[in-house]
Amino acid sequence: MPKYRVGVIFGSRSTEHEVSIVTALQAMDFLKDRHEVIPIYITKDGNWLTGDKLKISSTYKSFNPNDPSLRTLVITPDVKIKALESPLPKGIFAKSKEIEIDVVFPLVHGAHGEDGTLQGLMELADIPYVGCDTTTSAICMDKIATKYILKGANLPVIEFIWFTRTEWEAHEDEIVSAVEKRFKYPVVVKPARLGSSIGVAISNNADELKFNISVASHFDTRLLVEPCVVQRLEINCSVLGYREAKASVCEQPISSGDLLSFEDKYLQDTTRGFEGAKRIVPAPINEEMTNKVQNLAIESFKAVGARGIVRVDFLIDKPTNEVYVNEINTIPGSIAYYLWEPLGVSKYNLVDTLIEYAMDAANEKSRTKYSIGPLLMQNIDLLKLKK
């Protein structure tokens, strides 16, 4: 494929900041032999930096934002400028430098990246980017919105009650009563727009429910409660595609407690991110169940209008064999490459394919008209209108 200048954006103001760094380091390593990689690191304070040091893992052990080898870089919404290095130059003779970026590889997990905000900036700048578009990213980041979309497509999701943080603070007892009236304990509390199992907890009684909701409310303004599938099997499946979609092998992530935690996902091997989590690949489920999960994964991918790569997480109720779509990750940890290697798709092929999809989507977008010319204004006297 052609050699591209690939801007890899990662970090940002997110509870999954460190996870994003690991995923980005992996992706940059997969890309470096065939493309020119431009690392774009967003600090926890929201500063955008670039520089070759950002491709090295040791840089982040004691990160120095004032390192003279690092330069400020921003992507602007101006389609003519697009990207600027040193946008606020210091000194009489200093000036900004326009940077050419062919395609962006967004690898910000969670808020300010996976939620559609970063994708919206790419749309305004008219820069091709890897992965789901603004709408799909925003939907899948919000567990409440995802459930409504999937239910509308007749896909199986666990029932739920949702409410806002301000509603919880004003009507705590009423919300607990509504949960108890609808569901039996145990129930699961979740922030609606957070990943990596942060803020997720099982509640076995009213006191635990109140405590867990209060904790979750520190992480998001939208919260949900759903019944806990006690005897469950957690199965993940990735989907890859743009015009057509195909499913990967399935995996069973291994948890150390009642729920798959942040530690289970990312701290088994801190140098490998989600790839380093304990798992069984392929998942220990029969062929019929594997096909069912893979088909549901593809249907979920289509229902939310996804493109690129996602990981769909499922819960299987062991006593009944009922399968539920739990959530859709539009920027999966380690870009889920380990689920494609068993099918003969190398990590290098995977990132190149994702870039091809991004360029294809950008070409498709270029066919769309955003103006019908001056017809609307032809018969309007602006001066008279002003008066």
Place of tokens 């405590």: 211
CA distance 10 to 8: 7
- Encode the chain (387 residues) as per-residue pLDDT tens digits: 789 999 999 999 998 999 999 999 999 999 999 999 999 999 999 999 999 999 999 999 999 999 999 999 999 999 999 999 888 777 666 778 899 999 999 999 998 999 999 999 999 999 999 999 999 999 999 999 999 999 999 999 999 999 999 999 999 999 999 999 999 999 999 999 986 678 899 999 999 999 999 999 999 999 999 999 999 999 999 999 999 999 999 999 987 656 555 454 444 555 555 555 688 999 999 999 999 999 999 999 999 999 999 999 999 999 999 999 999 999 999 999 999 999 999 999 999 999 999 999 999 999 888 876 665 556 667 667 666
Q: How far is CA 366 from CA 29, 211, 359, 362, in A?
A: 31, 50, 11, 6
Residues 18, 242, 327, 125, Cα dihedral to 10°: 50
Domain boundaries, the chain: 5-129, 141-154+232-362, 161-227
Burial of 18 (0-12, 13-18, 19+ CB in 10 A): middle
List the structure tokens of 248.
Answer: 């990967």
CB proximity list for 23: less than 8 A, separation 6 or greater: 10, 107, 109, 273, 274, 331, 333, 334, 335
Instruction: With beta carbons less than 8 A apart as the criterion, state whether 226 and 186 touch.
Output: no
Q: Residue 330: which of 142, 99, 60, 52 has the closest Cα?
A: 142
With vertex at residue 252, the alpha carbon angle to CA 251 and CA 258, rounded to the nearest 5 degrees, is 155
Do 5-129 and 141-154+232-362 have matching folds?
no
What is the pLDDT at residue 387? Answer: 63
What is the pLDDT at residue 275? Answer: 58
Coil vs helix vs strand at 159: coil
Domain 141-154+232-362 grouped into CATH 3.40.1690.10: no
CA distance 50 to 97: 13
* Ranges of H-type helices in the chain: 17-31, 117-125, 134-141, 143-152, 165-170, 172-182, 206-216, 262-266, 287-303, 347-366, 382-386
Domain 161-227 grouped into CATH 3.30.1490.20: yes
What is the pLDDT at residue 262? Answer: 47
Whole-prediction pTM: 0.88
Q: What is the CATH number of domain 5-129?
A: 3.40.50.20
Instruction: With beta carbons less than 8 A apart as the criterion, state whether 183 and 163 touch.
Output: no
